[in-house]
């Protein structure tokens, strides 16, 4: 049965799902990253080092924010497609020697969330994005914006949503923070969860109870009497986005800002999500507002 995805817990926890440390090719240690991001208002970060399956629960160091587990895997599949995949969760027995396909299959068996990383930057075809039934995709990757501008993968996300409306859309830093590369804090997620624990945050991410942002905020996302009611920070546009050419919008061309909107629920769209855009063109996205799997 179709259910509204968001249930307002009253608590949004800010985090980043894609960060590299000195455990792979990042320039900062885990304590340095934790302090940097905690000082910028983050509640959690995710260890996403290349082919390093992290185990935050076994780390006895005290940090000013919560660490989630993960590993970024890369390689070619049977048909020659080249991928980077952000894998959320704690895994055993992952190594480059086993190859990309075996590693991805192992992560899936162990209950990991498979997020297709920066497909625009990798140059993936749409077929490649659809081939592996990823749980989600990076809608926006901040370091790719700095590398060559190929940071925007909304087209992939919409194609993936058309096949599976639960496909998660994620904005992430992919920060490496090396001497020649200090790019960070350009995209993040806000997770609606009852508490800031690894279990509660991961459960909420798995259910898609988060939004991704480059700047603007959703304050509340509710279904009231058959209408989608949304409150935001001041923005230029609030859009209800559906497949292909489908969409509705509130906002004004005269650059006046708005902070709320109400949309009736379309009954024929295969999926729908909210997108807001501020006066600087920075956007934020919910996941698809209705889910069939809960």
Residue numbers at the binding site for Zn ion (CB under 5 A): 72, 84, 117, 174
Cα–Cα distance, 40 to 37 (Å, whole number): 5
Closest approach of Cβ 204 to Zn ion, in Å? Answer: 22
Cα–Cα distance, 203 to 100 (Å, whole number): 26
Identity of the residue, 174 or 275, whose beta carbon is nearer to Zn ion in the bound complex: 174
Identity of the residue, 129 or 272, whose beta carbon is nearer to Zn ion in the bound complex: 129
Neighbour tally for 292: CB within 10 Å: 11
Cα pseudo-dihedral 50, 52, 55, 61, rounded to 10: -80
Cα pseudo-dihedral 205, 206, 208, 209, rounded to 10: -50
The Cβ-side half-sphere exposure at 270, using a 13 Å CA radius, reads: 13
Identity of the residue, 205 or 221, whose beta carbon is nearer to Zn ion in the bound complex: 205
Closest approach of Cβ 109 to Zn ion, in Å? Answer: 22
Closest-by-Cβ residue to Zn ion is 84
The H or E element spanning position 212 is strand 210-213
Closest approach of Cβ 26 to Zn ion, in Å? Answer: 9
Identity of the residue, 84 or 90, whose beta carbon is nearer to Zn ion in the bound complex: 84
Residues 115 and 82 sit within 8 Å (Cβ to Cβ): no
Closest approach of Cβ 148 to Zn ion, in Å? Answer: 13
Closest approach of Cβ 24 to Zn ion, in Å? Answer: 9
Closest approach of Cβ 181 to Zn ion, in Å? Answer: 12
φ, ψ (nearest 5 deg) of residue 122: -70, -20
Closest approach of Cβ 124 to Zn ion, in Å? Answer: 12
Closest approach of Cβ 117 to Zn ion, in Å? Answer: 5
Residues 50 and 72 sit within 8 Å (Cβ to Cβ): yes
Identity of the residue, 135 or 207, whose beta carbon is nearer to Zn ion in the bound complex: 135
78: helix, strand or coil: coil
Identity of the residue, 173 or 277, whose beta carbon is nearer to Zn ion in the bound complex: 173
Residues 172 and 282 sit within 8 Å (Cβ to Cβ): no
The Cβ-side half-sphere exposure at 179, using a 13 Å CA radius, reads: 0
Identity of the residue, 150 or 246, whose beta carbon is nearer to Zn ion in the bound complex: 150
Cα pseudo-dihedral 37, 38, 40, 45, rounded to 10: 40
The Cβ-side half-sphere exposure at 34, using a 13 Å CA radius, reads: 13
- How far is CA 106 from its chain centroid? 22
Identity of the residue, 81 or 216, whose beta carbon is nearer to Zn ion in the bound complex: 81
């Amino acid at each position: 049965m179709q259910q509204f995805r968001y249930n307002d817990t009253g608590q949004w926890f800010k985090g980043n799902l894609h960060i590299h440390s000195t455990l792979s090719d990042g320039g900062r240690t885990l304590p340095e990253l934790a302090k940097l991001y905690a000082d910028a208002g983050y509640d959690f970060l995710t260890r996403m080092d290349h082919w390093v399956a992290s185990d935050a629960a076994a780390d006895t160091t005290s940090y000013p924010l919560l660490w989630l587990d993960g590993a970024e895997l890369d390689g070619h599949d049977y048909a020659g497609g080249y991928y980077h995949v952000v894998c959320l969760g704690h895994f055993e027995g992952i190594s480059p020697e086993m190859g990309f396909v075996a590693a991805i299959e192992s992560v899936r068996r162990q209950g990991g969330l498979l997020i297709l990383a920066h497909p625009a930057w990798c140059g993936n075809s749409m077929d490649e994005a659809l081939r592996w039934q990823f749980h989600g995709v990076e809608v926006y990757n901040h370091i790719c914006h700095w590398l060559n501008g190929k940071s925007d993968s909304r087209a992939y996300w919409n194609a993936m949503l058309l096949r599976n409306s639960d496909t998660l859309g994620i904005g992430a830093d992919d920060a490496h923070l090396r001497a020649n590369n200090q790019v960070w804090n350009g995209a993040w997620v806000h997770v609606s969860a009852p508490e800031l624990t690894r279990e509660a945050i991961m459960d909420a991410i798995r259910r898609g109870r988060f939004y991704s942002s480059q700047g603007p905020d959703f304050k509340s996302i509710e279904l009231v009497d058959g209408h989608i009611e949304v409150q935001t920070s001041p923005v230029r546009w609030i859009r209800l986005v559906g497949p292909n050419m489908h969409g509705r919008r509130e906002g004004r061309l005269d650059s006046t800002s708005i902070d709320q909107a109400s949309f009736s629920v379309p009954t024929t769209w295969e999926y729908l999500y909210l997108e807001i855009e501020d006066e600087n063109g920075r956007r934020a996205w919910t996941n698809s507002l209705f889910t069939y799997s809960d």
